[in-house]
Amino acid sequence: MPRFAANLTMLFNEVPFLERFERAAQAGFKAVEFLFPYDYPAEQLKQLLTQHGLQLVLHNLPAGDWAAGERGIGCHPGRAAEFRAGVDKAIAYATTLGVKQINCLAGIKPAGVSEADARRTLVDNLKFAAPKLKAAGIKLLIEPINTFDIPGFFLSRTQQALDIIVDTGSDNIFVQYDIYHMQRMEGELAKTIEKNLGKIAHLQLADNPGRNEPGTGEINYPFLFAFLDRIGYQGWIGCEYKPAAATETGLGWAQTYLKQ
């Protein structure tokens, strides 16, 4: 049976962030994820997780100036020191919060930087981060993101991510496979997941078009959920979608799973 984590960056966003933990638990979720924990003391977040019986399954490395439009700095030459400091900060938070997976956002390729230099920078940064996270008992993930929603995002296809992992030589880097992003970039969802199941540590979902909840678009989620069970996917599935209305109103698709 699929296990779903509420993405608190996207869901229950009609209330302040710290109130979303309670709402997620009330809706039946046993786990949550979100982009970044760094605006809050780790102990405060830990208290909320404990209070509401939730597991935090994922957050990201620091990703540059998000408000200014940066979407990660993994592929940005000249910012290795900032990246490395972010790795240490992420490990400190994850250790307190019990997180076993951290995602590295590759970022938008900077203007004037060649594809080769961006790739080399990302590989070097991953080579630095992977063993540090492994020593802390944490998997490092990288996520292909569609270039329609984020033009210029450097990492945008499954095979590209797999090739980069090979080039790092690390056994502690995995793919965060977002079904919505890869539907937009590639399609062939089921077979891609099955073929690369050993390197996919986390899934995320939204429907297309609109990035709304399952059942609102073209992706056959009942089929995919049954398929994931059949092939033995054991990880979490993060619900990283924009609710078409209130979050609870659109949770009908998940009730069978949340009641387990």
Question: Is residue 14 annotated as a catalytic residue, yes or no?
Answer: no
Question: Is residue 143 annotated as a catalytic residue, yes or no?
Answer: yes
Task: List per-residue pLDDT tens for the chain, 260 residues long.
Answer: 889 999 999 999 999 999 999 999 999 999 999 999 999 999 999 999 999 999 999 999 999 999 999 999 999 999 999 999 999 999 999 999 999 999 999 999 999 999 999 999 999 999 999 999 999 999 999 999 999 999 999 999 999 999 999 999 999 999 999 999 999 999 999 999 999 999 999 999 999 999 999 999 999 999 999 999 999 999 999 999 999 999 999 999 998 888 76
Closest CA to 62 of 46, 43, 81: 81
Q: Retrieve residue 76's tokens.
A: 């940005």
State which residues form the domain around 235. Answer: 3-258
User: Could you tell me the CATH number of the domain that includes residue 204?
Assistant: 3.20.20.150
Q: Retrieve residue 149's tokens.
A: 């929603």
Cα(20)–Cα(16) distance, integer angstroms? 7
Q: Using a cut of 0.85, tell me whether the model's pTM lies above it.
A: yes
Cα(172)–Cα(216) distance, integer angstroms? 35
Beta-ladder partners of 4 = 237
Residue of 14, 19, 33, 143 with catalytic role: 143
Cα(211)–Cα(14) distance, integer angstroms? 17
Domains held by the chain: number: 1
Q: Please, where are the H alpha helices in the chain?
A: 20-27, 42-51, 80-97, 115-135, 158-168, 179-185, 189-195, 221-231, 255-258
Cα(33)–Cα(7) distance, integer angstroms? 5
Residue of 14, 22, 43, 240 with catalytic role: 240
Q: What is the largest CA-CA distance in the chain?
A: 51
Q: Find the helix packing angle between 80-97 and 115-135, rounded to 10°.
A: 30
